């Protein structure tokens, strides 16, 4: 790409995208280190699920970039989730949680998952609280994280701790260096791919710091998605949450950070490879059939969204021993 | 303890125990770094089990010191194992693998688990080989680890790679510093506990570098173990492997490295806390009822066997993306 075109592309990219923040703290929820430490423990600890064998990290596995590589996740007691697990990385930056946006934020997701039939398997908060209390060490950590409370092992505090931890999981990568002005942080193929990504219309929905994660959109703007993906079960998306016809087949536009590391794709994990996912999106959302070189370019650009894992995600905590039966 | 008694104890300890080696390489199986890297990937990758959801690390969890904190492990599709999962740490130093010693070493354990009904769920090696081959990146890693072979993704090579990785998982701790001559690496309570540990007879079986892991022994030398542990199912141990009456209720004497971090205890996980485990062992194996202060001392000594996790165990690999369905 010629220098002036490269400069123009960078300028346009800066108007559409943003660098990832260092973390996803908000003013109401400062990231107290004691909460992050506790939240990390709870995230990786399988002992508070009903069979003491499933943790947040079971489906949000650091070795698989915070995902599980399954079409649809397997929760407690082998129960199959209805949708593909989004990565836990950068997800705290999304405007809502889950494919259908039926959870407000990561805290809302955590408190709901704590009693999710498919996730922990608990039917109320009493059981997991008892399990956590039976493990020596947790009470002291909850007290440090919530110093003003007499009895701090509560659903709200669990969600605040796990949320605080997840709000630290940002993965800046080459694309952020590019937005910072280092044009060569992206290969020329990736820059051409970015050009295509913007020109064909992907960036209409996939924009901002998350390269998505900011709006809902109908999956199937130009044709029914299941015809292009080969999905066998048809998911009505947000309609099942709101019962509003306008929400039929509507899902959260997923952020594309680390997308190259988290196949398979879409809410149902129906597409196995990134080039195929790009092709499907072009057909289904934009009504276009992309040339192979355009697909390759977009894939090269998407690979520039792969960041480094936060050390606090790739390094396991040492959980307090004891208490499990 | 007076200085001369402390010196005598150290001398005696040196005759009974050994410092952990840096690793568990043997002359036949040098720890080629390419094999260790590959073995680590395979150890943490759930995608080659039959439901693509169980890895070695599911039961040998770094956050739980290489164990799973369950009485009996939960394998693929929720299947319950017959016995408690030993930690993967230092286990390569044992004279045989598994509670009943029915596997020769970590390589033998890995190749058997690869087609274990309860572990990966595969019934033959064909299926997991296909799953590994479907993940781009593994073939190149196998080629680097086994450069002289045309088609290196084989059961033997899988076991050599996972074995090589496990042979790096040594966790020296304060007790090794003590054996090195730093008497104050153990608290005075721990040194008194070591004195008791030797005097009452624990070290007759729990000795060497692993503080166990070197012989078989009947569990229930002085009384039936299930009377003391409250076990509900009676496990005949090695008898079921050999059908030799002399092996009735015989198990491998487990190494006690990191024992404080890996409750619950015994082959059936029937005892939840370390003090209770010490009491049971004294009654069942030695026919003694220990005073509380002796139990506390032994527990303090056992805590000195907690080492630091190897960085290669507490830090997750980044698995090659793709291929999972």
A197-224 confidence digits (pLDDT tens): 999 999 999 999 999 999 999 999 999 9
Q: How many CA atoms lie within 13 A of B316 on its CB side?
A: 30
With an 8 Å Cβ cutoff, is B78 touching chain A?
Answer: yes
With an 8 Å Cβ cutoff, is A283 touching chain B? no
Same domain for A99 and A216, yes or no, is no
Question: For residue B325, what pLDDT is reported?
Answer: 37
A259-295 pLDDT per residue, tens: 999 999 999 999 999 999 999 999 999 999 999 999 9
Whether residue B297 is predicted with pLDDT greater than 80 in this model: the reply is: yes
- Chain A and chain B share a number of CB contacts under 8 A equal to 99
Whether A26 is in a domain gets the answer no
**Chosen from A41, A42, A43, A46 to mutate, greatest number of chain B CBs within 10 A:** A46
Question: How many other C-beta atoms are found inside a 10 Å radius of the C-beta of residue B39?
Answer: 30
Can you say whether the dihedral through the CA atoms of A112, A114, A118, A122 is positive or negative?
A: negative
- In this structure, the answer to whether residues A94 and A221 fall within a common structural domain is no
Contacts of A44 in chain B (CB under 8 A): 63
Average confidence (pLDDT) over B181-201: 98
ipTM over 0.90: yes
Whether residue B63 and residue A318 make contact (CB cut-off 8 A), yes or no, is yes
pTM above 0.90, yes or no: yes
Q: Are residues A160 and A179 in the same domain?
A: no
pLDDT at A325: 37
For residue A28, tell me if it sits in a domain.
no
Q: Do A324 and B264 touch (CB under 8 A)?
A: yes
**Burial label, B197 (beta-carbon count in 10 A; 0-12, 13-18, 19+):** buried
One domain for residues B184 and B56: no
Inside any domain, residue A100: yes
Residue B319 lies in a domain: no
Chain B neighbors of A51, CB-CB under 8 A: 74, 78
A-proximal residues of B, 168-227, CB under 8 Å: none
Residue with tokens 């016995």: B83
In contact, B94 and B252? CB cutoff 8 Å: yes
- Higher local confidence (pLDDT), B3 or B9: B9
Residue B148: what are its φ and ψ, rounded to 5°?
-90, 5
| Residue B243 pLDDT greater than 70, yes or no | yes
Residues B14 and B105 in one domain: no
Residue B129 domain flag: yes
Residue B161 domain flag: yes
Note whether B140 and B219 are same-domain residues. Answer: no
- Cα distance between residue B198 and residue B259, in whole Å: 17
| Angstroms from A321 CA to nearest CA on chain B | 5
- Same domain? B127 vs B227: no
Contact (CB, 8 A) for B31 and B164 = yes
Residues B97 and B120 in one domain: yes
Closest-CA residue to B111 (of B59, B175, B42):
B42
Question: What's the total number of domains in chain A?
Answer: 2
Contacts of B266 in chain A (CB under 8 A): none
Residues of chain A contacting residue B78, judged by C-beta atoms under 8 Å apart: 51, 77-78
CB contact under 8 A, B78 and A78: yes
Asked whether residue A164 falls in the same domain as residue A176, the answer is no
- Residue B318 counted as domain residue: no
3-class DSSP state of B49: coil
pLDDT of residue B9: 98
Q: Which residues of B touch A61 (CB under 8 A)?
A: 46
Give the domain CATH number at B9.
Answer: 1.10.760.10
Question: How far does B225 lie from chain A, in Å, by closest CA?
Answer: 19
Q: Which residues of chain A fall below pLDDT 50?
A: 324-325
Q: Are A41 and A317 in contact (CB under 8 A)?
A: yes
- Taking the C-alpha atoms of residue A200 and residue A58, their distance in angstroms, rounded to an integer, is 37
- Compute the nearest-CA separation of B90 from chain A (Å): 17
List the single residue in A with minimal CA-CA distance to B134.
A272
Domain boundary among A170, A185, A216: A170
Do residue A71 and residue B262 have CB atoms under 8 angstroms apart? Answer: no
Q: Is A53 on the interface with B (CB under 8 A)?
A: yes
Tell me, yes or no, whether A241 and A204 share the same domain.
Answer: yes
Looking at the complex, does the CB of residue B44 fall below 8 Å from at least one CB of chain A? yes
Q: Do the chains contact at A74 and B64, CB–CB below 8 Å?
A: no
The confidence band for B45, taking pLDDT boundaries of 50, 70 and 90, is: very high
**Any chain A CB within 8 A of the CB of B321?**
yes
Say which of B44, B260, B322 has its CB closest to residue A273: B322
Within a domain: A315 = no
Q: Are B109 and B44 in contact (CB under 8 A)?
A: no
- Residue B296 sits at the vertex; the CA angle it makes with B200 and B222, to the nearest 5 degrees, is 35
Q: How far is A318 from chain B (nearest CA, A)?
A: 5
Q: Is the peptide bond before A295 cis (omega within 30 degrees of 0)?
A: no
Q: Determine the distance in angstroms separating the CA of A264 from the nearest CA of chain B, rounded to an integer.
A: 7
Shared domain for B182 and B89, answered yes or no, is: no
> pLDDT band at residue B323, thresholds of 50, 70 and 90?
low
- Residue range B305-319: average pLDDT? 97
Residues A186 and A251 in one domain: yes
Res B30: pLDDT: 82
Residue A254 belongs to domain spanning:
3-21+171-303
């Amino acid at each position: 790409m010629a220098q002036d075109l490269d400069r123009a592309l960078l300028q346009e990219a800066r108007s559409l995208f943003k660098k990832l923040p260092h973390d996803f703290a908000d003013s109401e929820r400062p990231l107290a280190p004691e909460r992050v430490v506790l939240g990390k423990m709870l995230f990786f600890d399988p002992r508070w699920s009903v069979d003491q064998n499933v943790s947040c990290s079971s489906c949000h596995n650091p070795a698989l970039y915070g995902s599980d590589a399954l079409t649809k996740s397997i929760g407690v007691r082998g129960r199959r989730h209805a949708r593909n697990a989004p990565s836990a990385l950068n997800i705290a930056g999304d405007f809502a949680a889950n494919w259908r946006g039926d959870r407000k934020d990561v805290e809302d997701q955590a408190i709901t998952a704590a009693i999710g039939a498919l996730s922990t398997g608990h039917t109320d908060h009493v059981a997991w609280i008892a399990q956590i209390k039976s493990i020596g060490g947790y009470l002291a950590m909850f007290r440090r994280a919530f110093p003003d409370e007499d009895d701090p092992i509560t659903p709200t505090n669990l969600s605040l701790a796990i949320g605080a931890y997840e709000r630290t999981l940002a993965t800046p990568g080459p694309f952020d260096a590019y937005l910072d002005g280092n044009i060569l942080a992206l290969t020329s193929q990736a820059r051409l791919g970015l050009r295509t990504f913007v020109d064909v219309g992907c960036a209409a929905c996939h924009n901002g710091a998350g390269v998505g994660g900011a709006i809902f959109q109908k999956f199937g703007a130009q044709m029914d998605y299941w015809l292009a993906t080969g999905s066998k079960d048809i998911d009505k998306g947000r309609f099942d949450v709101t019962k509003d016809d306008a929400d039929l087949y509507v899902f959260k536009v997923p952020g594309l950070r680390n997308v190259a590391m988290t196949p398979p794709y879409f809410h149902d994990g129906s597409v196995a490879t990134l080039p195929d996912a790009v092709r499907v999106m072009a057909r289904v959302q934009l009504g276009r059939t992309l040339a192979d070189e355009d697909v390759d370019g977009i894939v090269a650009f998407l690979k520039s969204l792969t960041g480094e894992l936060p050390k606090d995600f790739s390094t396991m905590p040492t959980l307090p021993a004891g208490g499990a039966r």
